[in-house]
Amino acid sequence: MENINLIDTFAEFKELKNIDRVTMMSVLEDAFRSVLIRQYETDENFDVIINIDKGDFEIWRNRQVVNDNELEDPNLQITLTEALKIDEDYEVGEEVTDEVKVADFGRRAILNLRQNLASKIMELEKDHIYGKYKDKIGDIVTGEVYQVWKKEILILDDEENELILPKSEQIPSDYFRKGDTVRAIVYKVELRNNNPLIILSRTATTFLERLFELEIPEIFDGLIIIKKIVRVPGERAKVAVESYDERIDPVGACVGMKGSRIHGIVRELRNENIDVINFSANIQLFIKRSLNPAKINSIKLIEDTKRAEVYLRPEEVSLAIGKGGLNIRLASQLTGYEIDVFREMEQDNEDVNLDEFTDEIEDWVLDQLKAIGCDSAKNVLNLSREELIKRTDLEEETIDNILKVLRSEFE
């Protein structure tokens, strides 16, 4: 029975298709020789023959024939009488080779050998998984959700290897159930308690970069280069691209006809808004493009502090800043410049700056008006009385007085 169990373990070992033949045979032979050393104190006179294809093995011992009264080491020597039982042609001084049956080792030795082989199987599997995924860091992998926990998801790849997708590496709107197919990049691979731990990510910028390579042939072929990516996962991303071939429009190639190419990426990222921007070494032009969809009037660079002052019409300010300041924050990360936005007023010879009314209106009241984007008299007068009351913290009586003063200026 022990021998059958050992053969079963050996058969299990030879099924490891991921282990190369040389490594497999070396590990198997080492396991058998370790048992021989414990059993006979040496393995030098043994030949271990392993048949990978059949899944079995043979152990042969080589001993020198000596006279019956000269036997000193029964492991290295065999008496002439015993040798003649094997073959009647043997003579003193010749070498006898006979097969050693594993069953003769005893139950304990066979159990140790079986455990040793099982341990080697596990070690080789761990080494294979660690090496395989260490080489895949930054690559997209696909797996099936096996278990969903509060802080992470357990995913199995096509070889039943366990992968972990932490909550922190999931897009906020991600929702997975058991059996769902998941795509993510291999974010990092580490050993924890001697076990390989493969961490995936869907929030890393590399994930978006790999999706572009999959969906855009020109990027995969190197005709279009991704210069930089910044993103807030699930919300918005900005991708700067460049082509060294003047015949290729990098932005158009990435977006595709009516957004056909980028649509799959957006869907994978849970409708993340992706701005594809034509990279430029001209930093002013690059900043202008990065603040899309806002239209910029002028840009002033302050090189010493890596700051940029952007001037644009009042109605464009909200577009430049974006919801929650997201657009301007991503534009700053993409360009490497801290961007400050300023309203640029239209020239109007008949309009009057609010600072001209300091004699009639108190400074703190003027500051309240400026805080809602009103820098001139006509800016204020273009708003209704109700809107001014609603948008400022000023009393109705104060608003009425302001309107009276400003209207008198144009009467």
Q: Over the stretch 299-332, which tens digit does the pLDDT of each residue have? A: 888 878 899 999 888 888 889 999 889 999 999 9
pTM for this model (two decimals): 0.66
Residue 61 CA, chain-centre distance (Å), reads: 54
Average pLDDT, stretch 402-408? 88
Residues 6+ apart with CB under 8 A from 188: 137, 199
Nearest to 339 by CA among 288, 374, 293: 288
Q: Over the stretch 49-106, which tens digit does the pLDDT of each residue have? A: 877 666 667 888 899 989 988 888 888 888 988 888 888 888 888 998 888 887 777 7
Beta strands in 176-256 (DSSP E): 181-192, 195-201, 224-232, 236-243
CA gap 406, 390 in Å, rounded = 19
Q: What are phi and psi of 395, to 5 degrees?
A: -70, 155
Architecture of domain 2-130: 2-Layer Sandwich (3.30)
CA gap 26, 10 in Å, rounded = 13
Q: Over the stretch 217-226, which tens digit does the pLDDT of each residue have? A: 999 999 999 9
- Are the C-beta atoms of residues 54 and 14 closer than 8 Å to each other? no
Strands 307-312 and 338-343: parallel
- Are the C-beta atoms of residues 191 and 228 closer than 8 Å to each other? no
What pLDDT is attached to residue 3? 45
DSSP state of 343: E
- Out of 222-226, 343-347, 360-364, the most confident range is 222-226
Position 9 confidence tier, pLDDT thresholds 50, 70, 90: low
Residue of 126 and 290 predicted with greater confidence: 290
Please report how the helices 21-40 and 107-134 are oriented relative to each other, as an axis angle in degrees rounded to 10: 150
CATH number for the domain formed by residue range(s) 280-344: 3.30.300.20
- The pLDDT mean for the chain works out to 86
| CATH T-level topology, domain 136-201 | OB fold (Dihydrolipoamide Acetyltransferase, E2P) (2.40.50)
Q: Over the stretch 233-281, which tens digit does the pLDDT of each residue have? A: 999 999 999 998 888 999 999 998 888 899 999 999 999 999 999 999 9
In 198-291, where does DSSP find H-type helix? 205-215, 217-220, 250-255, 260-268, 283-290
The residue type found at 80 is L
C-alpha pair distances (Å), 7 with each of 2, 51, 118, 147? 9, 12, 12, 35
